[in-house]
């Protein structure tokens, strides 16, 4: 399993090499320097994707404290290993335990994961619009719309 490096130095490099739209959605909350994430990085590397949800539950305190950038890197790691063969492993990361079961305390980490993903929605939507909205794509869509308007009505009328 490949390593996911979550140390301060690695995170600083990762953050600096992200496009502006990614950095705009993240804070540099990984620069706290109070926790060494090397051991967690090693645990993640040794974890099968099917067991990732158990790792999150076991290390819930670290996942709470690590900040959005580290959690998103973890989620990217998990998504990359889950799809397309094991999508249920990805889904289990987002499942909440019923109150009182297992006592994992990871339910609030699930909420943080969801918030982290939501924080990326705006910047990703803006990027998507910019990528789709180039002049050539607008021309293609306009031509297709014009073809539809000019096409003869289907036999039997408009549905």
pLDDT of residue 1: 45
Is 133 exposed, middle or buried, given 0-12, 13-18 or 19+ CB atoms closer than 10 A? exposed
Query: Range with the lowest mean pLDDT among 25-34, 52-61, 72-81?
Result: 25-34
pLDDT of residue 100: 46
* pLDDT tens digits, one per residue of 80-139: 887 777 778 888 898 887 754 554 568 899 999 999 998 888 888 877 777 777 777 777
pLDDT at 9 over 50: yes
Tokens of 98: 């019923």
* pLDDT tens digits, one per residue of 11-39: 889 999 998 888 888 876 776 667 888 89
- CA–CA gap between residue 91 and residue 78 (Å, rounded): 10
SS3 of 153, please? Answer: coil
List b or e across 30-41, with b for residues whose CB sees 16 or more CB atoms inside 10 angstroms: beeeebebeebb
């Amino acid at each position: 399993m490949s390593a996911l490096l979550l140390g301060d130095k690695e995170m600083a490099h990762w953050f600096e090499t992200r496009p502006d739209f990614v950095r705009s959605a993240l804070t540099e909350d990984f620069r706290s320097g109070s926790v060494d994430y090397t051991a967690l990085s090693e645990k993640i590397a040794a974890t099968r994707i099917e067991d990732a949800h158990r790792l999150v539950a076991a290390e819930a305190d670290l996942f709470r404290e690590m900040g959005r950038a580290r959690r998103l890197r973890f989620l990217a790691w998990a998504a990359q290993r889950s799809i397309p063969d094991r999508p249920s492993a990805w889904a289990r990361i987002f499942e909440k335990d019923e109150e009182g079961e297992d006592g994992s305390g990871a339910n609030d980490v699930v909420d943080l994961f969801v918030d982290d993903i939501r924080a990326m929605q705006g910047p990703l939507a803006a990027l998507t619009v910019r990528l789709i909205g180039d002049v050539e794509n607008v021309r293609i869509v306009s031509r297709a719309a014009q073809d539809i308007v000019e096409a003869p009505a289907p036999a039997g009328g408009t549905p």
